[in-house]
A and B are shown apart, each in its own frame.
Chain A
Amino acid sequence: MKKMKEFIDKILKSQKTLAFPIMTHPGIEALGKTVREAVTDGQVHFEAIKYLSENYNTVACSSIMDLTVEAEAFGATVNLPDDEIPSVTGRLLSDAESIAALEVPTLEAGRIPQYLLANKLAAKAIKDKPLFSGCIGPFSLAGRLFDMSEIMVAIYIEPDAILQLLGKCTEFLVNYCKALKATGTQGIVIAEPAAGLLSNDDCQTYSTDFVKQIVEAVQDDSFTVILHNCGNTGQCTQAMVASGARALHFGNAIDMEGVLNECPSDILVLGNLNPVGVFKQGSVDSVKLETRALLTKVGKHKNFVISSGCDLPPHVPEANIRAFLETVENMTPNP
């Protein structure tokens, strides 16, 4: 695989807009497997990534955006339905005392070994495009351990305890990201949606300062961090930029033109077609229409990569994904 720096530099110099929808569910479904099988069995997970890589003309591929695997490693209880994305149930931590007693898990905990296996197999098999691993962001992880509503209040009532929790989450995520990098993938998508509920200052203090530690630990010319925050409606873009991630990925709640004007031109900016309203619920015609509209609006920015605003949910019609990719291909000139 080409060095990521060269790959990104090439995108930045090219007039062509490339497509990178964040997806694994269409691959899982095409193989006739359940979500539960994919998130618990590294071999199934790998086969889904490989299927998508071979069957769709995307610029890169990614592993499952599963925002429970790290929380489960810490000891959180996880609900694993057959046909839905997993979710954390209950509350592992409730106060400063339980945070202080929390132990940072090893990479043998929970389903982590299966995720490392999936990435290792995929990195070995996919050589023609970059493969991005995935993990949760520190604030989103802390929210799953402490309860999302409660952490929002606790950052003001018990800030020291929450900062301690974020330190522990980050220590684990740095270890996990290093292990994912060692599998041979070319980068990682850090999903930090909960930070999008914060102001720019709070996002900086309770997310960016910790994301930055991960970026500094793993990002180099051969490994790129994509920071994903689909909760940001425009208020915390500067905090995302300050993470140092070489690429930022935005959700459909944000105005892409505004974001592209706000972000430095040497950072890749990805987004932001609605994964539900456009990809899942739309028709082939409406997907084409929305894709054209976004490309017309922001396709002129060389650092723009068109993507879904978040992970494509289960049961997106294959025809809609193909309509999206064909529209991108037809509308943008070859490099």
Chain B
Amino acid sequence: MLEPRVKNQDKNNINMNSELLEKLSECVEFGKINLASPYPPQMKGQPGADEITKEALESGVTPTEILNDALILAMNKVGQKFTENKIFVPQMLLSAKAMGASMVHLKPFFANGSVQRKGVFILGTVFGDLHDIGKNLFGMMVEGAGWEVIDLGIDVKTEKFVEAVQQHPTAVVGISALLTTTMVNMKPVIDAIKAASPTTKVIVGGAPLSADFATTIGADGYGKNPQEGIVWLDKISA
């Protein structure tokens, strides 16, 4: 009689874990960061991504399951909704914050190698340019897609990009610019990266850019919006 009882217990655990993953996915999709956050109004007073991730890990859900079956899944939906104009920048940033609250609990597992990510993505706004909203948004989406993101910040000099590539030879690089006067600074950065590491792939993005411009400066990829960038990253990492 013992065996069926154990099986039932396992089944219950599996159901509970699936429920937690589903709840976590919802938190990220709808931007519920933690218990204290009043957003979204329909989830006010409920635990958020922070608390649910903690509970899930304590219940035996693996970090890989959390990453793949909740976070990546949810951020994929978020990216899709953004592309379809169903949500806008604030909602997307709230989702990214919720994902970040969950990721905090996963960091030790990334650090000890028990969870593998898709790769390393080095990101920065080109030198001369102090804008960061596009960079931040894309960085959060890339992290949510399963990559480790190294954010070099704004006004990033060529040498800093090159140094980061030398430290992470398999990384992909993303360069952002908002100004017409700084987008031209992307070419010398790409040239220097390619000179130091010819196989490194570089994707560029930013309001004044176009696919044609990206090609002329030697970029390997161009993201008109975050989701396009994610699709490109998935393609090159497949």
Q: Does B47 contact A (CB under 8 A)?
A: no
Residues of B within 8 A of A280 (CB): 180
Contact B39 A152 (CB under 8 A): no
Which of B71-79, B86-94, B115-123 forms contacts with chain A? B86-94
Q: Does B85 contact A (CB under 8 A)?
A: yes
Interface hits, A50-101 → B, CB 8 Å: 79, 81, 83-85, 87-89
Interface hits, B72-117 → A, CB 8 Å: 85, 87-90, 93-94, 97
Contact B93 A89 (CB under 8 A): no
Contact B179 A148 (CB under 8 A): no
Q: Does B136 contact A (CB under 8 A)?
A: yes
Residue of B nearest to A279 (CB): B180
Residue of A nearest to B87 (CB): A199
Bound-state CA distance A314–B182 (Å) is: 11
Q: Does A327 contact B (CB under 8 A)?
A: no
Residues of A within 8 A of B179 (CB): 84-85, 313
Q: Does B128 contact A (CB under 8 A)?
A: yes
Number of interface residues of B (CB under 8 A): 27
Interface hits, A297-315 → B, CB 8 Å: 313-315
Q: Does A284 contact B (CB under 8 A)?
A: no
Residue of B nearest to A156 (CB): B39
Cβ-neighbour of A314 out of B31, B89, B97, B181 (below 8 A)? B181
Min CB gap A158→B, angstroms: 9
Residues of A within 8 A of B208 (CB): 276-277, 313
Contact B181 A202 (CB under 8 A): no
Q: Does A235 contact B (CB under 8 A)?
A: yes
Residues of A within 8 A of B51 (CB): none
Check A197/B85 contact, CB under 8 A, given A149-B132, A156-B94, A313-B181. Answer: no
Residue of A nearest to B131 (CB): A87
Min CB gap A121→B, angstroms: 27
Cβ-neighbour of A149 out of B85, B128, B133, B181 (below 8 A)? B133
Min CB gap A332→B, angstroms: 28
Min CB gap A193→B, angstroms: 10
Residue of B nearest to A148 (CB): B133
Check A314/B133 contact, CB under 8 A, given A152-B93, A198-B88. Answer: no
Bound-state CA distance A314–B132 (Å) is: 21
Q: Does A233 contact B (CB under 8 A)?
A: yes
Residues of A within 8 A of B88 (CB): 197-199, 202, 235
Bound-state CA distance A269–B179 (Å) is: 25
Contact B130 A152 (CB under 8 A): no
Check A84/B90 contact, CB under 8 A, given A157-B38, A313-B179, A313-B180. Answer: no
Q: Does A213 contact B (CB under 8 A)?
A: no
Contact A157 B132 (CB under 8 A): no
Residues of B within 8 A of A183 (CB): none
Contact A149 B93 (CB under 8 A): yes
Min CB gap B183→A, angstroms: 8
Residues of B within 8 A of A197 (CB): 88-90
Residues of B within 8 A of A281 (CB): 213
Bound-state CA distance A149–B31 (Å) is: 15
Contact B128 A89 (CB under 8 A): no
Bound-state CA distance A152–B87 (Å) is: 13
The interface bits of chain A over 272-299 (1 if a CB of B lies within 8 angstroms of the residue's CB, else 0) are 0001110011000000000000000000
Bound-state CA distance A233–B225 (Å) is: 13
Contact A235 B85 (CB under 8 A): yes
Q: Does A260 contact B (CB under 8 A)?
A: no
Residues of A within 8 A of B97 (CB): 153
Contact A153 B94 (CB under 8 A): yes
Bound-state CA distance A152–B133 (Å) is: 10
Contact B38 A277 (CB under 8 A): no
Min CB gap B41→A, angstroms: 9
Contact A87 B85 (CB under 8 A): no
Q: Does A155 contact B (CB under 8 A)?
A: yes
Min CB gap A45→B, angstroms: 19
Residue of A nearest to B154 (CB): A89
Bound-state CA distance A58–B190 (Å) is: 40
Contact A152 B181 (CB under 8 A): no
Bound-state CA distance A157–B93 (Å) is: 12
Bound-state CA distance A148–B125 (Å) is: 15
Contact B180 A276 (CB under 8 A): yes
Q: Does B37 contact A (CB under 8 A)?
A: yes
Taking A276-B208, A313-B179 as known contacts, 6 extra A-B pairs with beta carbons closer than 8 A to each other, sorted by chain A number, are: A84-B181, A87-B130, A202-B90, A235-B85, A313-B181, A315-B180
7 A–B pairs (Cβ distance < 8 Å), ordered by A: A84-B179, A85-B181, A152-B90, A153-B90, A153-B97, A202-B88, A281-B213
Which residues of B are interface residues toward A (Cβ below 8 A)? 31, 37-40, 85, 87-90, 93-94, 97, 128, 130-133, 136-137, 179-182, 208, 210, 213
Q: Which 7 pairs show the lowest CB-CB distances between chains A and B?
A: A313-B180, A197-B89, A156-B39, A152-B90, A276-B208, A84-B181, A148-B133
